Amino acid sequence: MWSSRYRPTRVEEMVGNEDARIEVVKWLKRWKIGMKPLLLIGPPGVGKTTLVKALAIQFNLDLIELNASDTRSKERLEGIIIPLLSNKGIMDRRVILFLDEVDGIYSNSDRGGLSSLLTFAKEPSIPIIMAANRENNALKELIKVCKIVKFYEIPPRLTLLYLEYVLRKENVTISRGEEINIVRKSGGDMRNLLNTVNSIIALGSSGNEHKSKVPLQEAINNFFNTLDKYSALDSLSNAEGFYYDPRFNRDYEVDKLDVLFSSVINSTNDINKLATILNILSEVDIIIARMNSSKEWRMLRYIDTILAYSLFNYTRGFNYNQYNIPYTLANKIFKDGRAINKLLTELATLLHASKRRIAVMLPYIMLILKDKSELLDKIDKSILESMNGVYND
Amino acid sequence: MIRLQRNIPFKLPRLGSDTFSKLMRAKLKYDKKNSTFEITDDTEITSIISILSNVLNKEVVLELECIICSKSTNCAECEYADVCDRSKVSSYCICRECIDNGDAYENYKKSIFKRLKLNDIEG
């Protein structure tokens, strides 16, 4: 992935957060025993981890890194940190300890981790750098014993500068409009930017060939109607859409699993077949959730294959559908919705109140009218017809 | 229009004790010796801009500084002005002239290398 391939290995190769980088470099140059550890706070994808890794290379330090996927309980931290206190790394080199995502150190598996971290942070005999995405209450104690360096989103023009450098290196060109679009959507998150451009430029046979995504509806219909599993997999993997991944803001795309669900429930009435397919979808949903919770995002690449091969035999002849409720239910909701809307409009005029307020009161009005049949004579007939429509259904 | 930049001291006319305490509550740094104010990492930038534009009755904008030529980047004319929240991005950017002037990324690297003073740690 480009986000790993083009992760800068030198501090000056990074873009954005210049003040923060200067501050961290100064701190490391002047570091001596007892100096406060650093706590880097800033949104994801702005270079906190990259900076520490680059510093380790340039300052010739052994980097000991513990991130959120490692258990950071008291025992584990002490097991790692106490041997490091002699300040000797491999081959007698100096070491630097980096604890990434410390704002997530409070889970059950990390029990006691914070208190032991606080002890080490008060009198460190090795340089310790920690990183967090945001300040929160749980970090209060840690903030007191650390020097805080804030990181910010990267300005769009600087992200464009790096994007152009990466595209030059890859010998790939994309239109100016596409470049601007990618930069605008990145939200100052360099990892997001590189992953987006990487997925846009799905390399074909030549380095400059674009393999563009197929619109979702067309791709899903192809998936349901191809005659072999390989073509089905090809259709699914080329579909515009994604599988849930919390690292990216994908408001503008659709979750492929959602679309498969809505298409399936509207394509068959065979309960047994439907049960089998929904079981497959729910199992894949659980797999995706586990990949995300364990931060094994690279595994997401296998989801298309799992789905294509397991759904193939059950879904031939199905059709794309975007509505995630079956037609029979959708019809009833549509019909009721129309009747309720008519009723709300008329009651709102009659009672001089907003439709929203009437909607809140409607169940109570219906209940009152149910037992007060004498009131019914006083009410406009058209309203009663609307009410009966809703009430009887 | 009043243009402010992060970490660059600026002067303000006398605004009264109420406004001054509001500015201090929004964590604007005040240097008593030089009578200058400064926006730092802790400053609540949005509050400062709102307080100053109300009191001074002028548009107050936060501008970024070009890392290469140190001039203001003239954010109002930037093609990304609508998506760049200057209170949330880091304080340096690059101006249009420096982008159009040769290999901007190489120039950026040279400029930041000088500021980082990394020469002495590498053999």
How is A204-252 classified by DSSP, letter by letter? -SSTT-B-PPBPHHHHHHHHHH-SSHHHHHHHHHTBS-B---TTS--TT
Query: Looking at this predicted complex, what is its ipTM?
Result: 0.84
Asked if A209 reaches chain B (Cβ–Cβ under 8 Å), the answer is: no
pLDDT digits (tens, 9 = 90+) for A169-215: 888 888 777 788 788 878 888 888 887 788 777 543 333 334 457 88
Do residues B56 and B85 both lie within one domain?
Answer: no
Is the domain of B116 the same as that of B79? yes
Identity at A224, one-letter amino acid code:
F
**In the predicted model, what is the mean pLDDT of residues A363-377?**
73
What is the C-alpha to C-alpha distance for residues A34 and A145, in angstroms, rounded to an integer? 11
Cβ(A150)–Cβ(A42) under 8 Å?
yes
Inspect the interface and report whether the beta carbons of B105 and A161 lie closer than 8 Å.
Answer: yes
B29 plus B57 within the same structural domain: yes
pLDDT digits (tens, 9 = 90+) for B55-67: 988 888 888 889 9
B92 contacts on A by Cβ (under 8 Å): 16, 18-19, 155, 158
Do B80 and B102 fall within a single domain? yes
Amino acid at A10: R
Q: Which of residues 3-62 of B touch A (CB under 8 A)?
A: 6-7, 41
**Rounded to whole angstroms, what are the CA distances from A335 to A274, A332, A383, B57?**
26, 5, 16, 55
Q: What's the domain count of chain B?
A: 2
Is A19–B64 a contact, with Cβ atoms under 8 angstroms apart?
no
Q: Give the tokens for residue A186.
A: 């990145």
Position A185, amino acid: K
Indicate yes or no: pTM above 0.80: no
B55 and B18 within one domain: yes
Closest by CA position to A203, among listed A174, A178, A229: A174
Touching check for B121 and chain A: CB below 8 Å? yes
Residues in A 174-203 with any Cβ partner in B closer than 8 A: 180, 183-184, 187-188
**Residues A169, A186: Cα–Cα separation, whole Å:** 20
DSSP state, residue A154: P
CB-side exposure of A105: number of CA atoms within 13 Å?
32
Tell me: pLDDT of B46 over 80. yes
DSSP string, A155-179: PHHHHHHHHHHHHHHHT----HHHH
Q: Please indicate, yes or no, whether residues B50 and B20 belong to a single structural domain of this protein.
A: yes
Alpha-carbon gap: A143 to the closest alpha carbon of chain B (Å): 14
Please state, in angstroms and rounded to a whole number, the distance separating the CA atoms of residues A44 and A66.
Answer: 17
Residue A373: what pLDDT? 66
pLDDT digits (tens, 9 = 90+) for A277-310: 999 999 999 999 998 888 788 888 889 999 999 9
Nearest CB among B80, B85, B90 relative to A183 is that of B80
Chain A residues lying within 8 Å of B83, measured CB to CB: 156, 184, 187
Range of the domain at B84: 65-121
Residue of A nearest to B7 (CA): A19
**Using a CB-CB distance cutoff of 8 angstroms, which residues of chain B are in contact with residue A46?**
90
Q: What is the pLDDT of residues A56-101, one digit of tens each?
A: 998 888 888 877 556 567 777 777 777 766 655 555 567 888 888 8
Query: Which of A21, A55, A157, A189 to substitute to test the interface with B, most B CBs within 10 Å?
Result: A157
- What number of CA atoms fall less than 13 Å from residue A178's CA on the CB side? 15
* Cβ–Cβ below 8 Å for A20 and B90: yes
Q: What part of A 123-152 touches B (C-beta under 8 Å)?
A: 150-152
Nearest CA-CA partner of A260 in A182, A314, A213, A299: A314
Q: CA B79, B75, B94: angle at the middle one, nearest 5?
A: 85
Helices (H), B2-91: 17-25, 45-56
Scan for tokens 């040279």, then name that residue.
Answer: B110
Rounded to a whole number, what is the distance in Å from the CA of B89 to chain A's nearest CA?
4
Contact A247, A192 (CB under 8 A): yes
pLDDT at A316 > cutoff 50: yes
Residue identified by tokens 């650390």 is A146
At residue A54, the pLDDT reads 92
Q: Give yes or no for B67 touching A (CB within 8 A).
A: yes
Question: B76 and B102, same structural domain?
Answer: yes
Distance (Å) of CA A54 to CA A7, A96, A167, B38: 9, 12, 22, 31
CA A294 to chain centre: 13
Q: Which 8-state DSSP code applies to residue A303?
A: H
CB contact under 8 A, B116 and A184: no
Q: Taking CB atoms and an 8 Å cutoff, what residues of chain A touch B40? A: none
Same domain assignment for residues B11 and B28? yes
Beta bridge partners of A239: A214
Structural domain boundaries of chain A? 17-150, 156-200, 216-314, 327-392
CATH number assigned to the domain covering A17-150? 3.40.50.300
Give chain B positions within 8 Å (CB) of A161.
Answer: 94, 99, 104-105, 108
Residue A161 and residue B99: Cβ atoms within 8 Å? yes
Distance from CA of B36 to the nearest CA of A (A): 21
pLDDT digits (tens, 9 = 90+) for B47-96: 898 899 889 888 888 888 899 998 888 888 888 888 888 888 888 999 98
Length of chain B counted residue by residue: 123
